[in-house]
Structure 1
Amino acid sequence: MGGGKEWVLFWKHHVAGNWNGIWKAQAPHKARHLLWRLCRGCLPTRYRLLERRVECNLNCPVCDVEIEDEIHIFFMCAVARDSWCAAGLSSVLHNDAYQQSNAMDRIFAMCSNESSDIVGRVAMLLWCIWQNRNDKLWNDNVQTPRQIGRYAFDAWSDWYSVHKLQSNSESRTTEAGLVRWEKPALSWVKCNVDVALVPGSRRTSVRLCFRNNRGQVMAGLTQWQQTMMSSGEGEG
């Protein structure tokens, strides 16, 4: 009987949805975890707190105009909407396919229709919106929508570039014919170049490393190029 009760309890709390789409999103774990909490109804918005019988002011801490629920703080608040635009995601926000009445259905719809990169950018933006809300609530600090959107984009781009480099490095080490770095000839310097393309950003990340004939690092450089180019062009 005990096992049967546990089985019923499990399915009672199961929520159907595209959970794999959340965990496959190309974003830091903290951002994907926020999506999970949002879809599980775990974020302590003021409306959610009232549902849990916690007495509090219902107005949004950021705009102080509307009731703060998940839809308002992430999708309808003027600051949030302008942040989507600043992050280059306004077309996702206004997409007719993502106008469901609750945040969970909107997130699941995005996970089903958008690439894992776009879902990752959305996750990072929502995380930044939530952090800004908390900073305003507890510290009375607030950022402009442009600051929120640009930080979300830059933070995601930096994470994506590092993640891509790590993935490429791991895949290379598993190849049967592993190509190892070789020292240059005496009095020569070798420059290794790696390029990462960030989809949808029209930016390219370029990294260079200079080493001498003893394999010692002499100099390095990391920079963003404000243009899109192929791997061959970037490395050239």
Structure 2
Amino acid sequence: MSKGDPICLGCGEKLETLEHLLLKCKKAKEIWKATPIQWDGIQELTGNFNSWWAALSEAIQRDQGMDHISLTAYILWQIWKSRNDKEFNNKTHDPAQVINKAWNAWMEFNEGIKKARRCSIEQTTAPLQMEEQEASQNPDNRSAGMHIRIATKWNKASKSIGYGIVAADCRGQDVMGWKMRENES
């Protein structure tokens, strides 16, 4: 087999189409068997990646559906990278290695998201707490205070939710704000 050969490197039997490489090849099937999530009911769609992905995306409505979808994307990415490692470096990876790489990358991403959220919240609340302490320590500032506005917005077209908090001083001047946009949950 030479580079650029249309036959799949994983099984050496079929044409290497997107569907075959990611979903139907015996090597890909071994990886999917080892995954911590299973996509029951969409196996018959593996002949068309777009249909398979559209059916998989409906899981967004389930508990932890977005987590399952994003982990699936990381698994697909690692299958692709494993295939390229075989093609260009002649290295093979067993299913557990592929899944572990996907899992670790997904966990690292989730930790980064959590850390970013914590930082946003801490940056917003620390100045507010200091102002509250200053106002309570100064009796002449009893009319001083903060007004908090909270808003949410759902965009049906993009299936995203936005929410935010704005703190304003007693004169109505915005002092601090925080907002976030997420996929629908």
TM-score (norm 2): 0.59
Post-superposition offset of 1:72: 1.1
What SS is found at the alignment partner of 1:143?
Answer: coil
Change in 2 beyond 3 A, CA 1:179/1:139: farther
Residue 104 of structure 2 corresponds to residue 161 of structure 1: no
| Closer, same or farther: CA 179–108 of 1 in aligned 2, 3 Å | farther
Verify: 1:107 aligned to 2:53, yes or no: yes
- Alignment RMSD, CA only? 2.3
With normalisation by structure 1, the TM-score equals 0.47
For the residues of structure 2 that align with 1:139 and 1:123, how far apart are their CA atoms?
23
Within a 5 Å distance, the mapping from 1:1-80 to structure 2 comes to: 56-80=4-28
Seen in structure 2, the aligned counterparts of structure 1 residues 179 and 77 have a Cα distance that, compared at 3 Å, is farther
Compare CA radii of gyration and give the structure with the larger one: 2
The answer to whether the aligner puts 1:82 opposite 2:27 as a matched pair is no
Count of paired positions: 123
CA distance in 1 between partners of 2:99 and 2:129 (Å): 41
Query: 1:172–1:137: structure 2 CA closer, same or farther, 3 Å change rule?
Result: same
Aligned pair in 2 of structure 1 residues 88, 179: CA closer, same or farther (>3 Å)?
A: farther
Report Cα offsets for 1:113-141 as digits up to 9, x if no partner: 24221111011110100011111111111
> Structure 2: how far apart are the matches of 1:145 and 1:130?
13
Task: Report the Cα distance in structure 1 between the residues aligned to 2:33 and 2:113, rounded to whole angstroms.
Answer: 25
Q: Which runs of 4+ in 1 moved over 6 A?
A: none
Matched position secondary structure for 2:93: coil
Q: Indicate the percent of aligned positions where both proteins have the same amino acid.
A: 25
Gaps spanning 5+ residues in structure 1: where?
1-55, 181-236
**CA 1:170–1:132 in 2, change beyond 3 Å: closer, same or farther?**
same
Q: CA deviation at 1:174?
A: 3.2
Which residue of 2 is the match for residue 216 of structure 1?
Answer: none
Inter-partner Cα distance in structure 1 for 2:125 and 2:24: 48
Cα distance in 2, alignment partners of residues 106 and 125 from structure 1? 15
Query: Following the alignment from structure 1 to structure 2, what is the Cα–Cα distance between the partners of residues 169 and 104?
Result: 37
Q: Tell me the distance in 2 between the aligned counterparts of 1:98 and 1:175.
A: 48
The 1:82–1:179 alpha-carbon spacing in structure 2 relative to 1, beyond 3 Å, is farther
Q: 1:179 to 1:120 in 2, by over 3 A?
A: farther
* 8 A contact 1:128–1:148 mirrored in 2: yes
Say yes or no: does 1:152 pair with 2:98: no
